[in-house]
Structure 1
Amino acid sequence: MPSLPKILQCQQVAQSKLFRVEQLQLQFSNGEQRTYERLAGGKTAAVIIVPMLDNDTVLLIREYGVGVEGYELGLPKGKVDAGETHMEAANRELKEEVGYGAKDLQLMKCLSQSPNYMQHKTQIVLARNLYPERLEGDEPEPLDVVPAKLSELEQWIARDDLTEARSIAALLLARQYLQDLK
């Protein structure tokens, strides 16, 4: 495996309320130089939660996605606030978006998103032993909570309104993990 490219220059070329774009001048181990752009990562991490109501029932949420201009099914997710651990953030987001807390939280895997263009990473957290508890969230409208069976995951994934890659990957990983426990 070649050595990592050397960063010759890195500068911010754009910024909005949510995003910061950096332009990087890279030199590869073979001497080739290229200019890359990336969405720079923020100071906070993110979590996506797989809330298991029982060993086969996962709780999805339906919310508006402005990127696809439609309502999408997916897993609850959000950023890790300053001073929070991944587990604390996962339990808070679960309470805000689904109306449940979890007594059993387990980190499963860290996912990158478009690693050629983004620094963002998301921790997948499996949530079990749920109990009802609701916290007020920052969503502009109430989210629909939709129970789905992991044993029917292929049918759910085939739907036109379940397209987010992180949710699909997290569901597949959780299903395999829970099957391995049997």
Structure 2
Amino acid sequence: MTDKNRLPEITDRRTVAKSRLFAIEQIDLVFSNGQKREYERMQGAGRGAVMIVPMLDDDTMLLVKEYCAGSHSYELGFPKGLIDPGETGEEAANRELQEEIGYGAQELIHVHDVAMAPAFFNAQMKIYLAKGLYSSQLEGDEPEPLQVVPWAISDYQSLLTQPDFNEARSIAALMLVRDKELSNDR
């Protein structure tokens, strides 16, 4: 008989590959029914990340177009980045806004936390809605200036048809913010 609420026991763990950015760990598991398996997972930094949907006004979102090495393409999405040591999610969100789009936010509303590929990666992303934007620029770590693209949230359906707007996290953020804004209008 198995206990579906009991996590498998980790009997061994070891790093099997490591780069400058990632470490892959193999874990040996024993499940509650006695089954043994080996899993591989990427080790996360543990601090998490943020993604921000900045609203220039009640209908205009600001997106960024930036180079993505994984797909070797320029992709359209929302500002995002890692939470630095000692930062809160809100502080990281406001810093990333200033680095990527040249605005700070008077108001940051936590919308939702999402997991990024939890089967392979222990990483969380906090999604924020940013309002009350004001001009403020910080130097970021991007190798080239990011293209800032305004888009009407009321025209979200045409954004979803854009071939360069396909990152799952950005789509989730768009839909979560759209639903939140619709519920606030009622």
Contact 1:63 1:72 in 2 (8 A): yes
Q: Normalising by structure 1, what TM-score?
A: 0.97
Alignment partners' CA distance in 2, 1:119 and 1:73: 25
Match of 2:119, as an amino acid?
Answer: N
Which of the numbers 142, 147, 154 marks the counterpart of 2:145? 142
Aligned length: 182
The percent identity for this pair of structures is 49
Task: Note the residue ranges of structure 1 that are not aligned, 5 or more in a row.
Answer: none
Aligned to 1:111: 114
Contact 1:24 1:36 in 2 (8 A): yes
Alignment partners' CA distance in 1, 2:130 and 2:23: 32
Q: Deviating runs (4+, > 2 A) in structure 1?
A: none
Aligned pairs (5 A) from 1:95-174: 95-174=98-177
Which of the numbers 73, 87, 99 marks the counterpart of 2:90? 87
Q: Secondary structure at the match of 1:146?
A: strand
Alignment partners' CA distance in 2, 1:77 and 1:94: 8
In the alignment, structure 1 residue 48 sits paired with structure 2 residue 51:
yes
Contact 1:5 1:26 in 2 (8 A): yes
In the alignment, structure 1 residue 4 sits paired with structure 2 residue 3:
no
Q: CA deviation at 1:143?
A: 0.4
Deviations 1:53-111 (A, max 9, x none): 11221100000001111100000000111111110010000000011000000111111
Q: Normalising by structure 2, what TM-score?
A: 0.95
Contact 2:46 2:122 in 1 (8 A): no
